[in-house]
Structure 1
Amino acid sequence: MAQGDTTVTETKTTDSGDSTQILEFGLGSERYCVDINMIDEIVDAGQLTRIPNSPSHVEGVMDLRGRTTSIINPKTVFSIDQEGDRNRIIVFDPDTIGDQSTTGWIVDEVYQVSEIMPEDVDKTTTTDDDNVRGIVKDDNKFVVWVDPDIATETIE
């Protein structure tokens, strides 16, 4: 494994009251999170190859262990105007998201894995967007829990 790469271990999660592990990451000054079971690995951001005439949120592609991986900028998908470091790429497990191809998100920073309970998620403040699962309050900050399918649906 290359330096800076992280393999994500799978944990048991259900919607029946069991805890869920989430990965918190930064986009600009905001924090977001995804269910860790949807993640294949986390890698350092590297050189991307731009694809001509691709949608604005597709940053390009990169080779990850022999797989062509589409890299998406979630800031474009979520309409975030702030600049950031763009240090890491969260690579999603193609078997757990609707796309079935290898997709990654370029994010400013990856912070931590947290374990949350269903009662930690506020679903009353969310939008009508099915891809926002709720708001998690963590140590006096709010973390928006999103579904990675939001970016793959935008591609289609």
Structure 2
Amino acid sequence: MSSPDKPNSPELVAHGGQFLAFQLCGEEYGVEILRVQEIKGYSKITPLPNTPREIKGVMNLRGTVVPIIDLRTRLGLHEAEYTVFTVIIVVTVGTKIVGLVVDAVSDVLNVEAREMVPTPDLGAGVDTSFLTGIARTNDRLVSLLNVDRLVGNTTDAALTA
């Protein structure tokens, strides 16, 4: 559906789709539902040395070692204590599996093409390459994330550490 080479995928904006909506710092974000393998409650993470700050470590998911990324830190948002609502969204990035720590999961959005807009141009100093667009559903604005661009290089660092 979306292409990792295109930060603002016109195909995604043109066709819409289903997205898992979640909260970070009171704002809503979404990832393509087809990328989501499962949603887990926050559990023990094994830290890794010499990894970027956003990589919290790895966890064992039924025999597979999965890197865990805190999306608050990755997006430059302030850190917060994990709560009972904190979850790990397990997604696929290419051939890899990655866990994303988020504040809470909201719901699954069915977004029609007419409800989607491309990411606005915010100027040369603002990196929006990890966004595929914005969904306008009812009175909500949901920033849609390009998982490949958001965590692709970060997971490589975790797996080589």
Normalising by structure 1, what TM-score? 0.79
- Per-residue CA distance 1:26-50 (angstroms, 9 max, x = gap): 1111110000001111111100010
Indicate the residue corresponding to 1:121 in structure 2.
Answer: 116
* Aligned-residue CA RMSD (Å): 2.1
- AA matched with 2:100: W
Deviation at 1:15, TM superposition (A): 4.8
Q: Report the Cα distance in structure 2 between the residues aligned to 1:105 and 1:126, rounded to whole angstroms.
A: 26
Which residue of structure 1 aligns with residue 143 of structure 2? Answer: 144
Q: Which runs of 4+ in 1 moved over 4 A?
A: 14-19
Q: RCO higher in 1 or 2 (8 Å CA, sep ≥ 6)?
A: 2
Please show how residues 1-156 of structure 1 align to structure 2 within 5 Å.
15=12, 18-81=15-78, 83=80, 85=82, 87-93=86-92, 97-98=93-94, 100-125=95-120, 129-149=128-148, 150-156=150-156
1: CA distance, partners of 2:99 / 2:121 = 24
Distance 1:30 1:46 in 2: 23
Maintained 8 Å contact 2:98/2:155? no
Which 5+ residue runs of structure 1 have no aligned equivalent? 1-13
The verdict on how the C-alpha distance between 1:146 and 1:126 changes in structure 2, with shifts beyond 3 A counting, is farther
Structure 2 unaligned spans of 5+: 1-10, 157-161
Q: 1:46 to 1:16 in 2, by over 3 A?
A: closer
Contact 1:21–1:115, Cα closer than 8 Å, also in 2: yes
Residue 16 and residue 105 in structure 1: after superposition, are their counterparts in 2 closer, same or farther (change >3 A)? closer
Equivalent residues, number: 139
Amino acid paired to 1:104: G
If each structure's helix is expressed as a fraction of its own residues, which one has the higher value?
2
